[in-house]
Amino acid sequence: MIIKYNDETIYSLIKIIIMIATKKAPVKATTNSPETDSRLQEFFHGELKDIYWAEKHLVKTLPKMAKAATSQELRDAFNQHLEVTQGHVGRLEEVFNILGYKPQAKKCEAMEGITKEGEEIIADTEKGTATRDVGLIFAGQKVEHYEIATYGSLTQLAKTLGHDEVANILHSTLQEEKEADEGLSGIAENTVNEKAEQE
C-alpha cells in the first residue's frame, strides 16, 4: 500500500524532526539531595554507586590477576592498572563530594559476574602457561569494556545534568580505561597469543 502525503503533512513532519533534533539539555542542577533530585539525577546517583562498588571490587581482584599471570609483562600491566584503579576510586569519591553526596557503594552484579568468570579462567588454565595469560587478557578486557561503557554513559549524563566538572573527571577515567584496554590488546598481539599457540 502506498501512502501519499500532502505538502502540509510533510512540512509538519519536518518541523517535528527539527524540534526533536535541536532539543536542548536540561538546565544545570545546583543542589542534590534524595528529596529534591530529579528522576534522572537519582538514576545518575545510582549508577555512580554501582561503578564505585565495581572499582573497589577491582582493587581486590587485580592483585589476584597479577599473581596468576605467567609473563612479567602482563603481571606489570595488571599491577600498573591496580594503581590507576585506586585513583578511579578516589576520583569517584571526589565526584560524590562535588555533588553533595556521601560516597556509597551498591553491589554491581555485572562486575561481580565478570570477575567470577576471571576466577574460572584461572582455575581452568594451567599455571605458568601462555594460555593462562590469554585467558587473563580476555577477562581483563571484559572488565575494561564494561568500565568504558559505564564511564562513557556517565560522562554524557553528567553533561546533560549540567555537572561539567564531574563530566571532566569521569572523562579522565574513561581515557585511562581505554588505555588499559589498548595495553592488553598490545600484549596479546605482540607476544602472548603467539606463544600460546605453540604450547
> In angstroms, what is the minimal distance from the CB of 169 to Fe ion?
12
> In angstroms, what is the minimal distance from the CB of 158 to Fe ion?
16
The smaller minimum CB distance to Fe ion, of residues 57 and 88, is found at 88
Q: Rule CB under 5 A: say whether 181 interacts with Fe ion.
A: no
Q: Tell me which of 45, 49, 57, 88 binds Fe ion, using CB under 5 A.
A: 88
Burial of 189 from C-beta contacts in 10 A (0-12 / 13-18 / 19+)? exposed
Helices (H), the chain: 7-21, 39-68, 72-99, 109-124, 130-160, 164-187, 193-197
The smaller minimum CB distance to Fe ion, of residues 82 and 192, is found at 82
> In angstroms, what is the minimal distance from the CB of 75 to Fe ion?
16
Residues 6+ apart with CB under 8 A from 2: none
> In angstroms, what is the minimal distance from the CB of 174 to Fe ion?
9
**Are 118 and 61 within 8 A, CB to CB?**
yes
Q: Tell me which of 37, 133, 177, 181 binds Fe ion, using CB under 5 A.
A: 177
- The length of the chain is 199
- Nine cell digits for residue 110: 555485572
Report the interface residues with Fe ion, using CB under 5 A. Answer: 85, 88, 147, 177, 180
